[in-house]
Structure 1
C-alpha cells in the first residue's frame, strides 16, 4: 500500500485531475489541474510543492564533519552552522552515487537531503567514524514555497525577518506555539524557500500558508510543473539525468561529476574523499562523456531522443527535455560521447511525436548553450523582493 504524506488530506482535496505518481513509496501529485497554470505560479506567484517524500537523513556525532568530508566531493568543513550546501558523493571509481543538500543544523549535527534512499551506503561509509545516522524522512514534513511572491506570502504568515534570509541560509521561526525551520533553498531556480516542520504541525502549516497566500495567487503544484522549472533552471535529477552508481547493472552506465557538468563540486585541495584517486585520473586522462544543455529547434520536446552529429552518427542521448515558457526555449539535457558537445559542433535530435494517432519523425537542429536560460536577479537578492 502506498504511503501518504502529512499533507495528503489537503493535497487530495485540491487534486482535481486525480493525477498521482509513486515517489519512493509515497502517493505524490503529478499535477493538480492544469500543468501550465502550475508552472506559471512558480514563475509569477507563490507555488507550493509537498516535499515529504524527499529522503532526509540526520547525521550527528563527534565525527560528523569528518565523516561528511570523507563522503562528499566538496569541502564540508567550510559549511558554517545555519548554512546549506549542494554536493555529490561518489563510489571508489569516482561515479556519482547521488547529489543532495547538506544542512548544517548545529555543531556536529547535519541533515542530508537527497533523491535516492541510500541509508545502507551511508552506514557502510560511516565505519570507523563516531556518528549516528537516522532516517528522518517520515519524521520531517516539508513544503517548497517558491516563486516571486513566496517571500511576501511567508511574511504575511508572521515570519518577520524572512526577507533578510540569504540564499542557502536557514533559521527557525515561531509558529503555533512551536517552531518551524525555513531555508532559502529550492529546485526551481527562482526566489523560493523550503519550510520544515513535524507531521503534527503539517496541516495547520498548510492552512496558514494558503490563507496568507490568497492575495499572492498561491497555488499547489505537482511534479510535472516542477520538472519544467528545474530544466529551465539547469538542474539535473538523479534517476533521470544519471543513474546512481549503486543501481547500475551494465558497465559504463554511471557518470562521474565531471561527466555531469559538476566538476566545480570536486575539491582536490581538501583531505581524501571517496573516489578522489579515480577522479584525479579522470582529470588527467579525460572523461568519457560531456553533459550539455541544448537549444532544440522548434517546440517539440526532444524527450529520450538520440543526438546525431553532422555525419549522422549517434553521439549521445537526451536525458531531460521540455519547452520552457519563461525562457521561450526548447531545452534538452544530453549526455554526449567525447569529444562532442562543444558550441561549434553541428548536432541534431531525432524527435518522434504523436498527432492524431500518427507518429511523425522530426530531425531538429540543436545548439549547445553554456549560459543560463533562466536566472532572475530576485533569486539572489537580499532583502528578497516583494516583501
Structure 2
C-alpha cells in the first residue's frame, strides 16, 4: 500500500485537531473554487481578484492570525497550514492572501491608529476592501533604506511623491500601505487608492505569477491628511516587521507548491508505462521520488518548528530566514525534478508542475532574495554584516 509523502513523516500526528480542520477546510476550498480555473487564469494572465477576495474573506483566511476587527485570531501555525494549501493551488493565490493579511492588514493592525484599524481592518477581513503594500521600488528592492519615495509636510498634511514596483494587488487595491522617506526617517502611510495623484498600472507580460495582479504604484503629489501616517513607528523597523510576517507564510506556502508537484509526479509515474512497465517501477524514478520526499518532509518539520516558536513568541527574524531560504530553494528544486518525471507532458498546463516552477521563481526573489537570507544567516553566525 502506498503512502503520501507527509504520511511517511506522520505530519498529522504533529498537528492539533483544530489545525487539521483548518487545513482541510482550505484544501477543500482550493479544490472546489480555485483549482478548476487555474490553468485558464495562468494562461490568460487574469484572475478575478475581487471575487476571490470576498470568497477568501468568507472562508476566514484574510488576516486570520490577527486578533479583533473580524479576524479569526488563529495560531500562526494554523495560518501557515492555510498558506500551504493555498499555494498548493497556486502561488498567486497565496500571494493575494499573504499581501492582504501579513503585509497590509498586519501593518495597520500593528502600527496603525485606532481610526486606521476601525476604518480598514473589518472590511479587509471580509474581502470587501483589498490592500497592497508599497515598499519595493524600481531601483531599491533588497536595499529598502535607499528608497526615493518621499513624504513632505504641507501645512497639517503630507504630500507623497515617488514610485513603487512589483506590488501584488496594486491595481485592484482600495488602500495602499506606502513607506516613504521623511525628515524623521522612513514612515508608513495609509493611502486610499482613490486619492488624487495615485495610480497603479498593472505589470504585463509576466512569465511567473500570472494568476496574480502585479502593479506599479505611482504617487504624483498625493495629498494626505496629517493622520494618514502611522503614529508610532519610524525607520525600517516598521516595514521589516511586516516582511517577517509575510516570509513566515512563505515558509509554509512554498511547501504546498512542492507537495502538489510531487503528488502529481507520483500519480503520473504510476500511470505512465515505459517499456511495458509503470514508470514508477524503475529505480531511477523511485530514487528521485525518495529524495524529493526527504526534502519536502524536512522542510515541513522546519516549518512546523518555526510555527511553534512563533506561537510561543520566540521566533526571531533570522530564524524566519532559515525557513524561507531552505523551503523555497528546495521547493523549486522539487518542481524542476518533478518536471523531468513528467517528461514533455510536464511543460503543459494540463499538469501544474511547470506553472508551480515558474511561480516559485518569483517566490525565490520576493520577501528577500536567497542571497539576502544567506547574508542574514551569515550575520547571525559570525556577528559580521556582509551587506555592504
Same fold (TM over 0.5): no
> Normalization by structure 1: what TM-score?
0.29
> Normalization by structure 2: what TM-score?
0.29
Higher strand share: 1
